[in-house]
Amino acid sequence: MLTKNEIINLLNTTDEKVLFKKADDVRHQFVGDEVHLRGLIEFSNICRNNCLYCGIRKGNGKVIRYRLSEDEIINMARFAASMGFKTVVLQSGEDLQYNIKKMCYIIENIKKFNVAVTLSIGERSFEEYKAFRQAGADRYLMRIETTDKDLYHKLDPDMSWERRHECLMMIKELGYELGSGIMVGLPGQTIESIADDLLYLKKIGIDMAGIGPFIPHPDTPLKDEKGGTLSLALRTMAVMRLLMKDINIPATTAMESLHPQGRIMALQAGANVVMPNVTEGEYRKFYELYPNKICVNEQPRQCRTCIAMKIESIGRKVGTGYGGHNNKQPIKL
Ligand code: 5AD
Ligand code: FES
């Protein structure tokens, strides 16, 4: 167990190579050399929220909005499963059009492909989370974004930090594997606050930690802010690995958007998961949370081949199982 001061010192390290090596060793020892792939489907970019940092915020009138039908989503998941993905992640803006009936139909049908299903659709009611879980959803991703409540309320107007925390607690209580995480480099965010974030994630007992740099989007109020660096994002991720040795940690797409080797660097600094995009057709470029998003002109097969090559090039292997935390198998309630 690291103290807050120790965490701060590690985050501030001037010798990041040592930190990354240590995180890489812990990763090797506790979760092994397999890299688990999750096929990401970005199924709707319609969002009721107006987060200042996010490219698909409600207030961004320049976005071409789309919403995939239930059967389009199921078909994309079928294709992902046929390419060997053992987990499908369904992500969208907070789009309430996908009600209990629609989401359960989607989840139940995707579960027929023998994949783990992860949802990343934001804040919902207990009743909804429960219904999705009963329909077969295994995991849920929702970043807390920051534990600095003042900063959170500045960045996410009309949203409540406490409400988000409660959602995470409900998700855990329902037996989902819980993924959460933060952005680093938010305007006004301090190293001390990042240390608090990491301690929070440990305290609530997450199964997966997604950590990425904040990248200012030109069509948002934060367009002139500096954004996070790859270095700080990697250091934060590496410290997370030291704090929670056996959880799943993705090499995030935002990291690769800042550097062509971003994900490879992450995989060698504590990460053991990659979430390649399996959204088909034109939609990827409309799901632009931040600029310079990678793979917008690729199709699922290309990303699958590309990432497998990258993983093998550093002597690691693509995972063959579901890749749950502690090898937990997907279970139906
Ligand atoms: N830069 C980096 N990450 C972002 N996200 C949203 N907007 C941005 C941005 N401008 C992240 C948030 C969200 C996740 C899906 O994407 O952390 O939870
Ligand atoms: Fe999409 Fe490399 S992961 S092209």
Domain ranges of the chain: 4-319
Question: Do the Cβ atoms of 151 and 184 come closer than 8 Å?
Answer: no
3-state secondary structure of 42: strand
Question: Do the Cβ atoms of 227 and 214 come closer than 8 Å?
Answer: yes
Beta strands in the chain (DSSP E): 34-37, 39-44, 87-92, 116-120, 139-141, 177-184, 208-213, 250-251, 273-274, 317-318
Question: Do the Cβ atoms of 61 and 83 come closer than 8 Å?
Answer: no
Centre of ligand 1 to C-alpha 214, Å, is: 7
**Residue-level pLDDT, tens digit, the chain, 333 residues:** 899 999 999 999 999 999 999 999 999 999 999 999 999 999 999 999 999 999 999 999 999 999 999 999 999 999 999 999 999 999 999 999 999 999 999 999 999 999 999 999 999 999 999 999 999 999 999 999 999 999 999 999 899 999 999 999 999 999 999 999 999 999 999 999 999 999 999 999 999 999 999 999 999 999 999 999 999 999 999 999 999 999 999 999 999 999 999 999 999 999 999 999 999 999 999 999 999 999 999 999 999 999 999 999 999 999 999 999 987 777 555
- Distances, alpha carbon 36 to alpha carbons 40, 182, 234, in Å: 13, 21, 19
Closest ligand (CA of 219): 1
DSSP category for residue 59: T
Question: Do the Cβ atoms of 118 and 38 come closer than 8 Å?
Answer: yes
Question: Do the Cβ atoms of 46 and 65 come closer than 8 Å?
Answer: yes
Domain 4-319 sits in CATH at 3.20.20.70
Centre of ligand 2 to C-alpha 284, Å, is: 12
Pocket test for ligand 1, best of 182, 289, 292, 293 (most atoms within 8 A of CB): 289
Protein residues whose CB sits closer than 6 Å to any atom of ligand 1: 53-54, 143, 145, 183, 212, 214-215, 217, 254, 289-290
Cβ contacts of residue 304 below 8 Å, gap of 6+? 37, 83, 84, 85, 276, 278
Whole-prediction pTM: 0.97
Distance CA 245, CA 26 (A): 6
Tokens of 317: 């292997």
